[in-house]
Chain A
Amino acid sequence: MSISTMATWVVVIGGLLILCKPMGIYLYRVFTFQPTVLDRPLRPVENGIFRLLHVTRDSNMSAVEYGLAFVLTNMVWGIMAYTLLRIQGILPFNPEHFGNLNAGLSFNTAASFVTNTNWQAYSGENTMSYFSQFAVLQFLQFVTPASGAAAGLAFVRGLSGRQLGNFFVDLTLVLTRVLLPLSILFGLAFVALGVPDTLAPYLHVHTLAGQTQIIPRGPIAGWEAIEHLGQNGGGFTGANSANPLENPSALTNILQSIAMGLVPVAFFYMFGLFTGRKRLAWTLIAVAGTIFLAMLAMIYFPEMAGNPIINALGLSGHANMVGKELRFGMGGTSIFETSTMAFTTGSVVSAHDSFLPIPSLAMFLGMFLNMVFGGKGVGLLNMLMFVILTIFLMGLMVGRTPEFLGKKIEAKEVSLTSVAFLLHPLLILVGTALAVAIPAGIAGVFNPGPHGLSEVLYGFTSAAANNGSAMGGLGASLPFYEVALGIVVILGRYASIMAMLLVAESLLQKKAVPQTSGTMRTDTPLFWGVLLGSIVILNALTFFPVMALGPLAEHYLLMAHHVFG
């Protein structure tokens, strides 16, 4: 392993570990309404917003009210986005004169951005006006992760025995206190390091080789900041962060990787502060961190060893550079791709379709689990879903009523949690099975052999996990995929969040039982092992068959130098 790779990994992983505590404390103080540094400039603005909304900081909602506010607000954003994309042609800030989007693409894009998936069936640089980029898509990249974080906050409050809070207050504060200030800082760093930020039209250059090249520009630096800080992942251009316009150097690559993880990891620590169980928080961080490191290794080492079929040609060097950019190095590429799959961002610095099978497996793993820190709020929600299932399984094994955070886990919680857990494989496997069973779905497959199945499976997994990255060969702009994936992103987002909010409320209403020596501890290395094991077993049982048909089959065929023509 080169010094560059080690330095890159140390800075990203070390940076996230060091920042997790101060950031977690800051989040805790903001969302328990204690004084924080930005009170003086921001309180008047926030108070103005709350006055117009007729809400107060300390008001509360029930789980159903909170969920309804969440869904209705998302619906308003969806309708707004759909409408503005449909009439893009008559709106301002359109120097390249792009026309209206058609109905299918508008629906797919609105659904995917509103659910924080940011799956893109288009390339921004030849489809979207500056107005659509910043006033529609960038706007959604601010507010939709904030609404996910708000849902996560309500869940954490419920678990810690507090009232759930008010959706509109939480939404506003996530934006004013967290995402907006961080976006300004990161955005400035990105401009300084070479990311364009302008409203001027595209650049026409006359190359030394005698050709004309048209280079897209736009308000890109600010977009990159919120794209990554919000675990959004919608690229300004088709190639996303592989494009040197979005990610021009190894340093911007490191900053984007850190931006993705900053808030999700801190959310875990904040959970520890809310519940007064910091050791539990560190246990959960250790579980997610273990899987993160495993994914990193599964991506880096096979890619460094390269594609055996190409290596047989006798070129200099081995690494699989197909679909990768040189400037990040393999270390930078692999930490970015691990982050984007772990934090469910979906931004990419390389072509996922051209990765070797074992690295693809790691990418699938991140999306199947959807809790390797995950998106802020939502990732923690999924992690706690696995915690509840694990505690339930352990309770069954020793024959005691399971408890979590001093509350009994009973039939209602386990049923709701099971619904949330089963929904994910249901959407992925049924969706994929449907797609490969009908001609409209098969038509979108680009690569031959088992890799083709992986492409379709990746599409549905990415949609259900609200990740948004793609194996780019899939014909995502075909009507079948625009509609099917649009529906999957919506179900994948709202049904599980709603189920988990009801779990939180149900726990909140229970009487606490005192902790005794018979209580199962959730903050020990033993629990780390049991939780990790449960997560692996539950998911392996669910997804192993389809993995065997896709990446694993491809792996063994690749080892045998089998080529599909």
Chain B
Amino acid sequence: MLLTLKRAVVVTVLLWIILAFGFTFVMVGLGQVFFPYQANGSIVTLKGRTIAARHVGQNFGNTLQYFWGRPSATVSLTTGKREPDNALNSGASNYGPTNALLLQDIRRRIHHYLNTTPGLSIHQIPVSLVASSGSGLDPDITVASALIQVPRVAKYTGLSQSRLRQLVLSKVLPPDLGLFGPARINVVLLNVALYQLLHPQSPAE
């Protein structure tokens, strides 16, 4: 028994060196050498400022001139209150399918869209645009979800609806390898393109 315990300790130390440190440092090293952009978080910059990580959704719901992403149910770490797209506390609403609060949330979001978007009717709103995501950081919306927001964005930016529709369609990401997952629009990248349209001469990376 004592011998077995000694072996257990020795094997733990040896494996710890290989797997905890060796593996991690080799992987970080390979990532930094071969895929530095991805390994550092796929950073998006605009005029030299870091404005986003490509894959992480952001909250545009406090503005009217930008496209909005999917609802986020993340909460503040300190107050426990809703704080959309809080990347430090990823998570979902966890409302079950028969929970009245779920229905209340969805109704509120539908009304918000109907109140802010000229000429919008409820049967045009995709269900994914009013259902909160799994991580609270979903960066994507469906193409239809972007197109129904065009009248609002046009109203508050002064750009024409046809120009905006063209912008949306130019930003459609096809399924991976043309086959896997849905066609979708990354809201952060769409809004960067919108910003550039409004502020010419601001190259993004």
Contact = CB atoms under 8 A, between A and B. Distances in A.
A168 B54 contact: no
Q: Which applies to chain A's interface (DSSP): helix, strand, loop or mixed? A: mixed
Interface string B133-148: 1111111111010000
Interface in B11-50: 11-12, 14-16, 18-21, 23-24, 26-28, 30-32, 34-35, 38-43, 46, 49-50
Contacts of A80: 12
Interface in A197-237: 197-200, 202-211, 213-217, 219, 221-222, 237
Interface stretch (A49-57, A363-371, A504-512): A49-57
Contacts of A557: 98
A325 interface: yes
Nearest to A242: B134
Contacts of A198: 28, 31-32, 39-41
A3 interface: yes
Contacts of B41: 196, 198, 203, 215, 217, 245
A437 interface: no
Interface stretch (B87-95, B153-161, B164-172): B87-95
B103 interface: yes
B190 to A, nearest CB: 11
B88 A354 contact: no
A389 to B, nearest CB: 32
Interface residues of B, number: 104
B14 A49 contact: yes
B191 A208 contact: yes
B176 interface: yes
Given A69-B7, A80-B12, A211-B62, A325 B135 contact: yes
Contact of B50 (A204, A317, A321): A204
B97 A320 contact: yes
A116 interface: no
Contacts of A208: 46, 51, 58, 60, 66, 188, 191-192, 195
Contacts of A254: 180
A290 B97 CA distance: 28
A195 interface: yes
A357 B60 CA distance: 33
Interface in A381-433: none
A72 B127 contact: no
Contact of A216 (B66, B87, B123, B176): B87
Contacts of A321: 127-128, 131, 133
A192 B140 contact: no
Interface in A300-334: 306-307, 309-310, 313-329, 332
Interface string A233-270: 00001110011110011110110000000000000000
Interface stretch (A102-110, A180-188, A459-467, A528-536): A180-188
Nearest to B181: A250
B96 A326 contact: no
Instruction: Classify the interface of chain B: helix, strand, loop or mixed.
Output: mixed
B87 A194 contact: no
B42 A327 contact: no
B142 A326 contact: yes
Nearest to A123: B89
A77 interface: yes
A41 interface: no
A447 B8 contact: no
Contacts of B141: 326
B56 interface: yes
A7 B175 CA distance: 11
A473 interface: yes
Interface centre among B110, B123, B137, B176 (most CB of A within 10 A): B176
A545 interface: no
Nearest to A472: B94
B159 to A, nearest CB: 16
A349 B77 CA distance: 22
A126 to B, nearest CB: 5
B56 A215 contact: yes
Interface stretch (A28-36, A136-144, A482-490, A519-527): A136-144
A203 B41 CA distance: 8
A351 B54 CA distance: 23
B86 to A, nearest CB: 8
B151 interface: no
A326 B125 contact: no
B10 interface: yes
B127 A203 contact: no
Given A238-B90, A315-B127, A350 B12 contact: no
A172 interface: yes
Contacts of B91: 123, 238-239, 351, 472
Contact of B38 (A193, A307, A471, A558): A193
B126 A317 contact: yes
Given A198-B32, A451-B98, A221 B27 contact: yes
Contacts of B5: 72, 76
A135 interface: yes
A354 B94 contact: yes
A243 B135 contact: yes
Contacts of A317: 126-128
Nearest to B35: A191
B180 A205 contact: no
B27 A184 contact: yes
Interface string B184-195: 100010011001
23 contacts: A72-B1, A139-B20, A191-B31, A192-B34, A200-B40, A205-B50, A205-B51, A206-B50, A209-B66, A216-B87, A244-B55, A244-B138, A245-B56, A248-B42, A249-B181, A315-B130, A323-B94, A353-B92, A356-B97, A357-B97, A448-B98, A558-B97, A563-B103
Please list the 10 inter-chain residue pairs (A to B) with the smallest Cβ-Cβ separation, ordered nearest first: A250-B181, A351-B92, A242-B134, A239-B90, A451-B96, A473-B94, A565-B100, A197-B31, A222-B27, A239-B135
